């Protein structure tokens, strides 16, 4: 998640000081992604370095207000109009964990899946029980918060479906047939080369 651009988008509404910016971020996300003040100020300093925000004067209470620059506003507009591009690399910890577990002799993969399923269902139920404690349950703050929570619920539901799918696929294979022993051939240094499809014509 781009904390940097989220904070910049909030500053596009008007100048804020650090604690105020954290509070505004929490109001919009229901504190589902808590930020500490140190992270806020580190981000602001990087934004200042990049010419996207400017540091203003301190008020009578010592609050230093930060304001967005024209370049920062253009960055926000570009961010909001562009789709979020998911990474093409498979780096999901759970997927890697199950892929490795499925190839290790003696590992009860069904138990690994069940433990994760139980945790995922509990998280999903906890999210569904969560109630907003704001003063205006029908206001924009509630709507913004619920969008984040809905996304987390849908992600948990998808994870449970994927676990069911994985368990069904693995049930079709005897576990002893899935075991991968250590390769006897010593790998060469460097990155592994991609195997080309034999049917693919050679480039001339």
Average pLDDT over residues 45-73: 95
| Minimum mean pLDDT range among 110-124, 135-149, 159-173 | 135-149
Q: Would you say residue 143 has pLDDT above 50?
A: yes
Mean per-residue pLDDT of the chain: 82
Which pLDDT value is given to residue 87? 66
Residue 87 maps to a domain:
no
110 and 162 in one domain?
yes
Q: Which of the two residues, 39 and 138, has the higher pLDDT score?
A: 39
98 and 77 in one domain?
no
Structural domains in the chain (count): 2
Other beta carbons less than 10 A from residue 73's beta carbon: 15
pLDDT digits (tens, 9 = 90+) for 158-198: 999 999 999 999 888 766 556 667 677 877 776 655 544 44
Residue 193 maps to a domain:
no
102 and 172 in one domain?
yes
Q: Would you say residue 66 has pLDDT above 80?
A: yes
Which pLDDT value is given to residue 190? 63
Which pLDDT value is given to residue 2? 80
Residue 88 maps to a domain:
no
Q: What is the CATH number of the domain that holds 42?
A: 1.10.10.10
Residue 186 maps to a domain:
no
Residue 187 maps to a domain:
no
99 and 57 in one domain?
no
Q: Which residue segment(s) compose the domain that 76 sits in? A: 3-81
Please list, in sequence order, all residues whose beta carbon lies within 8 angstroms of the beta carbon of residue 145, skipping any fewer than 6 positions away.
Answer: 27, 28, 29, 30, 32, 132, 134
73 and 27 in one domain?
yes
Which pLDDT value is given to residue 156? 92
156 and 114 in one domain?
yes
Q: Which of the two residues, 51 and 93, has the higher pLDDT score?
A: 51
Residue 202 maps to a domain:
no
Distance separating alpha carbons of residues 40 and 49, to the nearest angstrom: 14
111 and 58 in one domain?
no
């Amino acid at each position: 998640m781009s904390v940097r651009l989220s904070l910049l988008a909030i500053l596009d509404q008007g100048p804020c000081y650090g604690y105020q910016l954290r509070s505004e971020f929490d109001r919009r996300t229901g504190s589902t992604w808590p930020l500490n003040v140190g992270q806020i100020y580190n981000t602001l300093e990087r934004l200042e370095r990049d010419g996207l925000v400017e540091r203003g004067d301190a008020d009578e209470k010592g609050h230093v207000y930060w304001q967005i620059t024209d370049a920062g506003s253009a960055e926000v507009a570009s961010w909001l109009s562009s789709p979020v591009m998911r990474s093409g690399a498979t780096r999901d910890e759970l997927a890697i964990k199950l892929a490795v577990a499925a190839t290790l002799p003696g590992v009860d993969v069904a138990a690994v899946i069940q433990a994760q399923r139980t945790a995922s269902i509990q998280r999903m139920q906890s999210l569904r029980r969560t109630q907003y404690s704001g003063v205006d349950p029908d206001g924009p703050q509630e709507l913004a918060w619920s969008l984040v929570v809905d996304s987390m619920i849908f992600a948990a539901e998808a994870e449970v479906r994927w676990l069911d799918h994985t368990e069904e696929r693995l049930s079709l294979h005897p576990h002893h047939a899935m075991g991968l022993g250590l390769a006897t051939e010593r790998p060469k240094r460097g990155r592994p080369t991609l195997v080309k499809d034999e049917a693919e014509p050679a480039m001339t």
